[in-house]
Amino acid sequence: MQSLLSAKLLRKSYKVSNNPFKQRYLEVLKGVSFTLSAGQTLAVVGESGSGKSTLARILVGAEKPDSGELLFEGSNILKDASFSWYRNIRMIFQNPAASLNPRATIRQSLEEPLINAKTGNSQSRKDRIAEVLDLVGLRPEYADRYPHTFSGGQRQRIAIARALMLNPKVIVADEPVSALDVSVQAQIINLLLDLQDRLDLAYVFISHDLGLVQHFSDKVLVMHNGEQKEYGRVGEVFSQPQSKHTLELLNASSSYRRAIEK
Partner 1 sequence: MSLLQIENLNVDFMTDDGLVRAVDKVKLSIDNGQVIGVIGESGSGKSVMALAIAGLLSPAARMQADLFNLDGHDLTRMSPAERHKLITGNISIIFQEPTSSLNPALTIGYQLDETIRFHEGGTTKQRKDRALELLAQVGIMDAKRRYKEYPHQLSGGLNQRVMIAIALACQPKLLIADEPTTALDVTVQSQILDLLLKVKEEHNMALMLITHDFSILAETTTKVHVMYCGQIVESGRTYNLLSQPYHPYTKALLDSVPHFGMRYKKGRRLFNLPGSTPPISHLPVGCYLGPRCPYAAKKCVQAPELFNIKGRRVRCHFPLIEEEES
Partner 2 sequence: MTLSNSKLAWQVFSHNKSAMTGSLILLIVLLMSLIGPWFAPHDPAQQFSDKILTPPLWYDNGDFVTPLGTDDLGRDMLSRLLHGARLSLKLTLMVVFAAAFIGIILGAAAAFLNSGLRSLLMRFMDLLLSLPSLLLAIAIVAMIGPGLPNAVYAVVIVLIPQFVKVTQSAISEELGKDYVMAARLDGAGHIRLLLHHVWPNIIPALIVQLTFSFSTALLDIAALGFLGLGAQPPMAEWGTMLSEARAFIQFAPWTMTLPGLAIFLTVLSINLVGDGLRDAFDPRLNR
Nearer to partner 2, 40 or 88 (CB): 88
The amino acid that residue 97 corresponds to is A
Contacts to partner 1 from residues 235-254, by CB under 8 A: 248-254
- Work out whether 198 is an interface residue with partner 1 (CB under 8 A): no
Q: Which does 112 bind (CB under 5 to 8 A by kind): partner 2, partner 1, none?
A: partner 2
Which of 114, 110, 60, 113 has the alpha carbon at shortest distance from 85?
60
Site string for partner 2, 12-41 (x = CB under 8 A): ------------------------------
Compute the least distance from the CB of residue 229 to partner 2, in Å: 28
The amino acid that residue 72 corresponds to is F
Q: Which of 35, 84, 187, 243 binds partner 1 (CB under 8 A)?
A: 187
Q: Which does 71 bind (CB under 5 to 8 A by kind): partner 2, partner 1, none?
A: none
Instruction: Calculate the CA 204 to chain-centre distance.
Output: 5
- Work out whether 229 is an interface residue with partner 2 (CB under 8 A): no
- Work out whether 190 is an interface residue with partner 1 (CB under 8 A): yes
Q: Please give the backbone phi and psi of residue 66, each rounded to the nearest 5 degrees, phi first.
A: -75, -40
DSSP-derived letter for residue 79 is S
Instruction: State the DSSP string of 204-262.
Output: EEEES-HHHHHHH-SEEEEEETTEEEEEEEHHHHHHS--SHHHHHHHHH-HHHHHHHH-
CB 41 within 8 A of CB 202: yes
Compute the least distance from the CB of residue 218 to partner 1, in Å: 7
Q: Which does 101 bind (CB under 5 to 8 A by kind): partner 1, partner 2, none?
A: partner 2
Distance CA 69, CA 161 (A): 29
Q: Which does 147 bind (CB under 5 to 8 A by kind): partner 1, partner 2, none?
A: partner 2
Give residues in contact with partner 2 (CB under 8 A).
60-62, 84-87, 90-91, 93, 95, 97-105, 108, 112-113, 116-117, 146-148, 159, 162
